[in-house]
Amino acid sequence: MAYESQLKEGSQRWSPLQGVILTVLACAATTVLATPLLGYLDLANIVMLFLLTVLLVAVKLGRNQAVLASVLSVLLFDVFFVPPRFSLEVANIQYLVTFAVMLATGLLTAHLAAGLREKAQDAERRERRTEALYQVARQLAGALAVEQIDELARAFVTTQLNAHAALLLPDELRRDLLQTAGTPGVSIEIHLARMAYQTGETVRSEAVRSQGDASLYLPLNASMRTRGVLALRFDDPYFDINSETLSLLEAMASLIAVALERLHYETVAKSSEVKMLTERLRSSILSALSHDLRTPLTAMVGLADSLSLIKPPLPTVALDTAQALHEQAGRLAGLVGNLLDMARLNAGTVTLRKEWQPLEEVIGASIKLLGAALARHPVKVGLPPDLPLLEFDAVLIERVFCNLLENSAKFAPADTPIAISATRQGDWVAITVCDSGIGFPPGCTDALFDMFARAPQRSGTPGTGLGLAICKAIVEAHHGNIHAENRADIAGGCVTFRLPVGYPPIIEEEKP
């Protein structure tokens, strides 16, 4: 296998037949070199030469060739050096002990040398893997797209394991896994991939491996959630996925997960930055536009009022025109005021002037301020007697009540009541304004609090879509929240906003 040839260069340098031939030649060379020394060296020293040959064969050619060298060394030593020479006969039975010790020593030497060689190869292989993992980690840290991550993962798996990888990422709703477009030739068992994604555990299957499908699925577990699945298909059906290989793949999967999570948060950060800049630009434009329009609109309202005071009085038709002009100018002035208020709230330049005060006072002021707008809508106020004092800006909360009451009067049929109620909910006080109108469109209640948002069925009713947005900004500035819902018992809708109770001051009763 190509992968094994890369990791075990020393053992694959020679074929088995070449290893046998080299072993025989080494033992023969030792015999030739030791023969002239027979008259100068004892047989014990010649045995050391053969043992040295066994050691060299074990280091260079491996365990199997070393065992062969041990057996050949004993035979050659017996034939060429032990009397009677050139035969397998032994003149002294003590040489049998020499042969046994020589063979045992040779085999033990071969085993130890080959084991040391294999450990050195394993260390070298792990070093190469670590280096490759380090290099791919550096490349993943600079990846700018999912396609780059996919390409790096496939290249790493192919180079290190002679396998094929596929990157599976969840769809936008995170309900299913989708294979990246740049991953050809890998058949996926989607049920195993989903199991790995949902459980966050590695899934293996030898059954699908025999069919040629991806058999190993590693979840891409990041700090926040699982980002996808890395599927692997091995070309060699007998490739051993041992603990070392699995650890390498899990480390690779972790690096991919971190890279994917980094890309996700970079996208979120860029999107948030664009939204912030857009909102800032829009607020600046609205603020400048509304500020420049306020002065001429005020003059228009005053001039329209002055037309009714001209002496002698204008004709009836002209007075009606002046009244219509006054109403439209007033409506436009209200729109500009809303725009300016919304711009100030978004810019955070509004300073809250909070005071501890009862809620019924600001409700009464709001009802009185609307006046004619609520002429055909009786307002019913129901507040519990033990309602605590709340700390809020009276002018701004009055604006909230005015917008909510005006919306209710605008969209509710004439002569239908508008109800205001308040309840204590733990550390909050919930204030609700309900009407008997057409209610809110299903699924759009949250979007109605955005700027310039209007319900489709209400497009024929005059309005700017800023009333609820201003209410939300004011309530959130008071560290509260607001939401809308339809009434369950009868027709109509309700808007509820909550304000924190805090720690109101204790009011002592006056002594008689």
Is residue 418 within 8 A of residue 377, CB to CB? The reply is yes
| Backbone region of residue 86 per phi and psi (left: phi > 0; alpha: psi in -120 to 50; beta: other values) | left
CB atoms within 10 A of CB 424: 13
Q: What is the dihedral of CA 138, 139, 144, 149, to 10 degrees?
A: -120
pLDDT by 10s per residue, the chain, length 512 = 333 444 344 444 677 788 888 888 988 898 888 888 877 877 778 878 888 888 888 778 877 887 888 888 888 877 887 777 777 776 666 667 776 777 787 778 777 777 777 787 778 877 888 888 888 888 888 888 888 888 888 888 888 888 888 888 887 766 777 776 555 567 788 888 888 888 888 888 877 776 767 888 889 888 888 888 888 888 776 677 777 788 888 888 888 888 888 888 888 888 887 777 776 776 676 666 666 666 777 777 777 778 777 778 778 888 788 888 877 777 677 667 666 666 667 666 567 888 999 999 999 998 888 887 888 889 999 999 888 899 998 888 988 998 899 888 888 888 889 999 999 999 999 999 999 888 888 777 777 888 766 665 554 555 567 788 888 988 998 899 999 988 877 788 899 999 999 888 776 665 55
pLDDT of residue 8: 43
| DSSP state for residue 392 in the 8-state scheme | E
Is residue 153 within 8 A of residue 256, CB to CB? The reply is yes
Is residue 49 within 8 A of residue 64, CB to CB? The reply is no
CB atoms within 10 A of CB 507: 8
Q: Measure the CA–CA gap between 274 and 266, rounded to whole angstroms.
A: 12
pTM for this model (two decimals): 0.48
Is residue 42 within 8 A of residue 84, CB to CB? The reply is no
Q: Which of 406, 386, 398 is nearest to 361 (CA)?
A: 398
Is residue 346 within 8 A of residue 473, CB to CB? The reply is yes
Q: In which residue are the tokens 């949250």 written?
A: 446
| Backbone region of residue 371 per phi and psi (left: phi > 0; alpha: psi in -120 to 50; beta: other values) | left
Q: Measure the CA–CA gap between 388 and 359, rounded to whole angstroms.
A: 9
Which residues lie below 8 Å from residue 218, measured CB to CB, with a gap of 6+? 196, 202, 229, 230, 231, 232, 249, 250, 253
CA angle 340, 500, 427 (to 5 degrees): 160
Instruction: Tell me how far apart the 2 most distant CA atoms of the chain are, in Å.
Output: 157
Is residue 470 within 8 A of residue 399, CB to CB? The reply is yes
Q: Which of 369, 290, 283 is nearest to 333 (CA)?
A: 290
Is residue 463 within 8 A of residue 454, CB to CB? The reply is yes
Q: How buried is residue 356: exposed, middle or buried, by Cβ count under 10 Å (0-12/13-18/19+)?
A: middle
Which residues lie below 8 Å from residue 273, measured CB to CB, with a gap of 6+? none
- Spatial strand order of the sheet with 226-234 comes to 177-179, 163-170, 226-234, 216-221, 203-204
At 463, list the tokens: 């309005």
